[in-house]
Structure 1
Amino acid sequence: MALREIKPGNRGFLYVNSHPEGCAAVVDELWQHTPAPAGRAGAAAEGPVALVIGSSAGYGLAATVAALRTYGMRGLGIAFEAPETERRTASAGWYRTARTAELAGPDGDFAFLNADAFSATAKEQALEHLAARYGRVDYLVYSVAAPRRTDPATGEVHHSALKPLGSAYRAKTLQFDGDTPVVGSLELEPAVDAEREATVQVMGGADWQLWIDALVDRGLVHDGFHTVALSYVGSDLTAPIYRAGTIGAAKQHLEDTARRLQQDLAPLGGQAHTVVAGAAVTQASTAIPSIALYTSLLRAVLGDGFQSTAQQAAALWRQLTGEVPLQLDQEQRIRLDGWELDDKVQEAVHERWAAATTDTLAGLADTDWFRAQVGRLYGWHVPGVDYDGPSQTTVAWPAAN
């Protein structure tokens, strides 16, 4: 297609169109904020092999960029992204993936598969590529956020529900009336058992388990193999809708899966852990009630102390590669969220939460930052990008090397 003039077409936190140059610029910034190689010997062809499932957004994207830039990883990233149509641009993750591949350079040995990671077809395609190209895998990072999942064995489609468990949830929310931030309120009725179970099927550890089983069955797990799945705990302010809600039930299943995988992989010299990351503005998190207000308050408290996904991904890889010891809690989870859950930080956030109204919000929360971060998820609000002129929206998915 020819150059197109595009507009965000957004309503609240949802954007219809993504901006190609803006998405590329976001990846450029992520790359620049990721540590460069420091004394790493050997050519790229000798680097370790990583499989990143959910490589186009959030922590999965940050983990992919860090793997490529800092460690010269070989391997495969998997994402499920929409191409351009006559009415809409390609998805933001499509453009981010294209730019990530460009930054990896012509000598990089990292491919990207556009497929539904939940499907048996994606697993077969990925394993065929890994077996033919590398033989075995050193790392698997699982960072999938999706609203639904089709069970590959039964064909049943499960839809996740963002609901509390046990009792109704009433809390403050952050909304935008045009450009004006507003503190509203929300009430959600508790989930029924079927909604809880469906959320566990979508966001729990079932698919992660299938990926590991498939790798092991094919003999593709290298000695010292380490797999991690991204998770979140967060503040007690958001616990009723998150950790104590349907999502929390799914995260508990994810953590239970990690313990089972740890036992299964131990005879092979492997390890499995969940990773408790800190707060971030992601496409998944903006859909969770109260998270927008909480994150805006947290940013106002921390300022530049709010750790980016790039910083957290770098910290994770230092642990996975053995540069520093694993930072495990009593439940054997890797913790990256100490900066968020620091007692003094949480005390300040609690005080601001209690005082937050539409009239007081400007002095308590960094809503401008939050709104800009949401736009950046789709390539908008990125400094230095020309949004007035036409853009080349037709961008090819990276070809396999």
Structure 2
Amino acid sequence: MSDTMVKITEKLKGNVARSVNPEGCRQEILNQISYVQGKGKYEGAKKALIIGGSSSYGLASRITTAFGQGADTIGVSFERPPRDENMLGTAGWYNNIYFRQEAEKAGLIGKNFIGDAFAQDMKDQVIQYIKDSFGGKIDLLVYSVAAPKRTNPDNADETWRSVIKTVGKSVTGENINLEENKLFEQTVEPASDDEVEATKHVMGGEDWEIWVDELKAAGVLADGFKTILYSYIGPKSTYDFYHEGTLGAAKDAAEASSHKIQDKIKDIDGEALISVSRAVTTKASVVIPIFPMYCIALYKIEEETGTHETPIMHKDRLFRDMVYGNRRETDDRGRLRPDAWEQREDIQAKVSELMKKITPDNFNSSLTGYDEFRREFMQLNGFEVPGADNDTVDLDKLMKLRP
């Protein structure tokens, strides 16, 4: 092995990945592109901006937009480059690069902006790029941001921090420690009023509104422009720590923002959409209290019923069938509901029964979907990816990659 070759190993700290396999990230991009291409082309956007497009739902949205709709895309994300053999950067850093490379091979623009999507300077850079190098207008904005904090745009000395907590009561339940491969009891304490408001500022729709306001003021929104933000409701069994918790409060705030945005873009025949997504394995979902227990039960039932979807499967169906197709499923509040498969009564009844049977001794057995849940988590960082069996990388080459 040469001096610049580094051996890659999986490293977990609780439910947080501390290592990345760049080759696996590249292969995962190829696998997702292949999935979309296998479904064929469909009519949609031509110029898209994806805020938070480096992983999970945002990345899946970007891939189906580019390789399903044939769109040029801009991605904005906060990622870290490699520094040395002990800090190879973030998975999203490589996802951005390998997506751009494949987009360019297909004759598409895949521009990446790395930095804080909340910052005014980032908004200014993106708008200028659209004017100068992106045809002057966009017809799709996907807002898919999960962030721990945001600086108040009107007061640089104030920073809001999001929290994952309940509201009004504490809740105790079991969660999964992926590092130690065991269950542990967890109590989620209620958030203060200030924490609820801070989470709404960070994870709600305020910044989404600002992006649309500034894009429109700059004259870079095309007639028929669409914008979409992803929400989650889930079953009643998760309401305490999600839908009725701080995250749910933020999603409600985002929904209110969608109505404001709709009013602002109606003169260009625009459309502001909220899409209620299904439960998936993401870097955020694995640290949501108690939520992984629901996932391993859900995945098992979905495997049996043929309804399980990864992010690329879910978002490709959303855009192909609902955003740009003629098979929209909406609820009484006008939200798109691609989560209907997860919410089927028969599936939820079976999930509830299975959750009652899960114990510390059997949670990681064939009784549940634990293996799939863990595998999907590792794939987020380039491990256990079908088609990628390389466990060494050339650090020198990685350091030369540019987004």
Cα distance in structure 1, aligned partners of 2:110 and 2:99: 10
* One-letter amino acid matched to 2:374: R
* One-letter amino acid matched to 1:397: R
From 375, 382, 388, the equivalent of 1:385 is 388
What residue ranges of structure 2 are gaps of 5+ in the alignment?
none
Identity %: 30
What residue ranges of structure 1 are gaps of 5+ in the alignment?
none
**What are the superposed Cα offsets for residues 99-118 of structure 1, whole Å, 9 maximum, x if unpaired?**
11121134212311112101
Cα distance in structure 2, aligned partners of 1:198 and 1:61: 26
Aligned residues: 392
- Is 1:117 the equivalent of 2:120? no
- Is 1:396 the equivalent of 2:401? yes
Equivalent residue, structure 1, for 2:95: 96
Say if 2:174 and 2:290, in contact at 8 Å, map to a contact too: yes
From 312, 317, 320, the equivalent of 2:319 is 317
Q: How do 1:2-401 residues align onto structure 2 when only pairs under 5 Å count?
A: 2-36=4-38, 38=40, 48-86=46-84, 87-106=86-105, 107-132=107-132, 133-155=134-156, 156-176=158-178, 178=180, 180=181, 182-303=182-303, 304-319=306-321, 322-361=324-363, 362-392=365-395, 393-394=398-399, 396-398=401-403
Cα distance in structure 2, aligned partners of 1:390 and 1:230: 35
SS of the aligned residue for 1:162 comes to coil
Cα distance in structure 1, aligned partners of 2:218 and 2:121: 15
* Cα distance change, pair 236–224 in 1 and its aligned pair in 2 (3 A): same
Cα distance in structure 2, aligned partners of 1:66 and 1:204: 25
Question: Which one is further off, 309-318 or 333-342?
Answer: 309-318
Q: Return the TM-score normalized by structure 2.
A: 0.92
Q: Return the TM-score normalized by structure 1.
A: 0.93
* Cα distance change, pair 266–380 in 1 and its aligned pair in 2 (3 A): same
Cα distance in structure 2, aligned partners of 1:269 and 1:70: 23
Cα distance in structure 1, aligned partners of 2:11 and 2:29: 22
SS of the aligned residue for 2:17 comes to coil
SS of the aligned residue for 1:71 comes to coil
Question: Which one is further off, 7-16 or 283-292?
Answer: 7-16
**What are the superposed Cα offsets for residues 194-250 of structure 1, whole Å, 9 maximum, x if unpaired?**
110111011000110000000111111111111001111111111101000000000
Cα distance in structure 2, aligned partners of 1:47 and 1:333: 20
Say if 1:12 and 1:176, in contact at 8 Å, map to a contact too: yes
Task: Give the Å deviation of 1:80.
Answer: 1.0
Cα distance in structure 1, aligned partners of 2:250 and 2:42: 38
SS of the aligned residue for 1:4 comes to strand
